[in-house]
């Protein structure tokens, strides 16, 4: 079983970065194969909407994003951690997500899916926002995730909202860490059960 942990923050040693590593530690403890994808460290450029993937099912760009997109088909679960930027996900994560247009095109334009649609995959989204909670702080990010997880044929089973992270370090808050552990264990459990069926 393989779990992908996606960190959407460009900041080292901060909330999303540390949470991603905390989740990796939980995977390690449970003997689950995993990989952290720090999207801000990928050598990638944005989707330019050229339409090539609508005809070929693959992106014409040969950068790290193209090779990273391919990791999602064999995966069993994905946990994404992102900062909230202007009520959305970080620009780096959005740029990464847009590069999955090739996957979308392979399924819906070409009807030749580049991902096994029958495989049961499970996912979670954890969002970290600097300000104290306010209305719709997480709404846009969650809408993006809802569509993204559909595109990667992964059932989004948990979303966690962590506000006030500019005041309280999420990776030092026991209640937050306990919730992240519960979510991670649930994702592992669901993916394991699906593999047994």
Ligand X SMILES: Cc1cc2nc3c(=O)[nH]c(=O)nc-3n(C[C@H](O)[C@H](O)[C@H](O)COP(=O)(O)O)c2cc1C
- The contact set with ligand X (CB under 6 A) reads 9, 11, 14-16, 83-87, 128-131, 137, 165-166
| Dist. CA 6–CA 134, nearest whole Å | 25
For ligand X, give the closer residue by CB, 16 or 68: 16
DSSP class of residue 24? Answer: H
Query: What would the two tokens of residue 133 be?
Result: 């909670």
Considering the complex, what minimum distance in angstroms separates the CB of residue 7 from ligand X?
8
CB of 112 to ligand X, least distance (A): 37
Q: How far is the CB of 6 from ligand X (least distance, A)?
A: 12
CA torsion, ordered 24, 28, 34, 37, to nearest 10 deg: 20
DSSP secondary structure letter of residue 118: T
CB of 87 to ligand X, least distance (A): 5
Q: Which residues contact 79 (CB under 8 A, 6 or more apart)?
A: 3, 4, 5, 6, 23, 123, 124, 125, 126, 183, 184, 187
Q: Which is nearer to ligand X, 14 or 21 (CB)?
A: 14
Residues 6 or more apart from 122 whose CB is under 8 A from it? 76, 77, 154, 155, 157, 187, 190, 191, 194
Closest CB 77 distance from ligand X, rounded Å: 21
Which of residues 126 and 156 has its CB atom nearest to ligand X in the complex? 126
CA–CA dist 20, 101 (Å, integer): 25
Give the residue with the Cβ less far from ligand X, 21 or 120.
21
C-alpha–C-alpha distance, residues 135 and 137, integer Å: 6
For residue 55, the minimal CB distance to ligand X (Å) is: 35
- Closer by beta carbon to ligand X, 85 or else 159: 85
DSSP state of 155: E
Cβ nearer to ligand X, comparing 21 with 119: 21
């Amino acid at each position: 079983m393989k779990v992908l942990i996606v960190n959407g923050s460009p900041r080292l040693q901060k909330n999303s970065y540390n949470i991603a590593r905390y989740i990796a530690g939980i995977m390690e403890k449970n003997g689950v194969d995993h990989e952290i994808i720090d999207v801000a460290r990928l050598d990638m450029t944005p989707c330019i909407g050229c339409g090539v993937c609508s005809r070929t099912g693959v992106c014409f760009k040969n950068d790290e994003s193209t090779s990273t997109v391919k990791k999602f088909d064999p995966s069993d679960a994905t946990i994404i951690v992102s900062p909230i930027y202007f009520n959305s996900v970080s620009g780096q994560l959005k740029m990464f997500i847009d590069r999955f247009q090739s996957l979308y095109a392979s399924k819906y334009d070409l009807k030749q899916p580049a991902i096994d649609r029958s495989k049961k995959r499970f996912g979670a989204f954890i969002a970290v926002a600097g300000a104290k909670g306010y209305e719709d702080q997480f709404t846009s990010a969650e809408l993006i995730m809802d569509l993204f997880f559909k595109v990667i044929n992964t059932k989004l089973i948990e979303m966690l909202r962590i506000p006030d992270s500019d005041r309280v370090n999420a990776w030092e808050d026991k209640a937050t860490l306990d919730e992240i552990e519960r979510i991670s264990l649930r994702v592992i459990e669901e993916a394991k059960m699906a593999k047994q069926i």
